[in-house]
């Protein structure tokens, strides 16, 4: 018997979001791994935008007693701009979902999402990912909040993938000016970080 990992629940959530036609986008480190980031992560950051009907449908897809997916919590979290979750009480695992109302706001990544393949234990399917530029913008936002070096490493890895042209489908068309405009909005500290990381990656 193959042991279930935390990613199994993420995979199931993604397939459910697809089936229910709930707009979502994968951001953060898991998306970064799709674009050359070398730091491994078991967490999948998923941004969602749901109406009332979709809230009820998602809650119904994960019923008690095995799951906890409270539509009241979802509504309150969306209204207050907070994460909410789906919990597998049997396995003791959970998936956090990020509403577009949560600051600093990732609606821009949702609007520009692209389809990418996910492969897991012999299975493959497509899901909605943030563009590589938007993954970097999200990491610059996160760096601005906490100054974590891991975000610097992640951005550098993606930029190195661009320099090496590892996947021409996106590396040849990487939009540096788009990220430049975002860094100008985020402040001089972010501008300086972005320039330094570009110099380190030689792009």
**CATH assignment at residue 59:** 3.30.460
Contacts of 53 (CB under 8 A, 6+ apart): none
Alpha carbon of 119 to those of 8, 173, 187: distances in Å?
12, 24, 37
pLDDT at 6: 66
Of 129, 150, 179, the last residue of a domain is 129
What is the number of structural domains in the chain? 2
List per-residue pLDDT tens for the chain, 203 residues long: 344 566 889 999 999 999 999 999 999 999 999 999 988 877 789 999 999 999 999 999 999 999 999 999 999 999 999 999 999 999 889 999 999 999 989 999 999 999 998 877 777 889 999 999 999 999 999 999 999 999 999 999 999 999 999 999 999 999 999 999 999 999 999 999 999 999 999 99
Is the peptide bond between 104 and the residue preceding it cis, with omega within 30 degrees of 0?
A: yes
Q: Are 185 and 110 members of one domain?
A: no
Is 1 contained in some domain?
no
Of 129, 159, 182, the last residue of a domain is 129
Q: Are 106 and 32 members of one domain?
A: yes
Q: Are 125 and 138 members of one domain?
A: no
Of 67, 100, 129, the last residue of a domain is 129
Is 190 contained in some domain?
yes
Q: Are 120 and 163 members of one domain?
A: no
Parallel, antiparallel, or unpaired for β 93-99 and 45-48? parallel
Question: Residue ranges of the alpha helices (H) in 71-148?
Answer: 71-80, 107-111, 132-146
Among 87, 93, 53, smallest CA distance to 70 is for 87
pLDDT at 5: 65
Q: Are 110 and 166 members of one domain?
A: no
Q: Are 40 and 70 members of one domain?
A: yes
- Domain range holding 150? 132-201
> How many Å apart are CA 134 and CA 126, to the nearest integer?
19
Q: Are 88 and 27 members of one domain?
A: yes
Is 161 contained in some domain?
yes
> How many Å apart are CA 139 and CA 27, to the nearest integer?
9
């Amino acid at each position: 018997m193959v042991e279930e990992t935390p990613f199994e629940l993420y995979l199931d959530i993604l397939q459910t979001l697809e089936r229910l036609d709930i707009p979502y986008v994968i951001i953060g480190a898991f998306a970064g791994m799709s674009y050359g980031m070398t730091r491994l992560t078991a967490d999948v950051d998923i941004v969602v935008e749901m109406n009332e009907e979709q809230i009820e449908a998602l809650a119904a897809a994960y019923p008690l007693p095995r799951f906890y997916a409270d539509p009241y919590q979802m509504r309150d979290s969306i209204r207050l701009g907070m994460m909410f979750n789906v919990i597998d009480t049997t396995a003791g695992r959970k998936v956090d979902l990020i509403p577009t109302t949560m600051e600093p706001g990732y609606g821009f990544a949702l609007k520009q999402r692209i389809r990418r393949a996910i492969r897991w234990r012999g299975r493959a399917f497509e899901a909605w990912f943030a563009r590589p530029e938007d993954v970097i913008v999200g990491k610059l936002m996160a760096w601005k909040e906490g100054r974590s070096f891991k975000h610097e490493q992640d951005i550098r890895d993606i930029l190195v993938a661009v320099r090496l042209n590892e996947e021409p489908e996106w590396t040849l068309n990487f939009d540096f000016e788009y990220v430049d405009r975002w860094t100008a909005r985020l402040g001089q500290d972010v501008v300086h970080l972005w320039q330094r990381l570009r110099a380190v990656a030689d792009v």
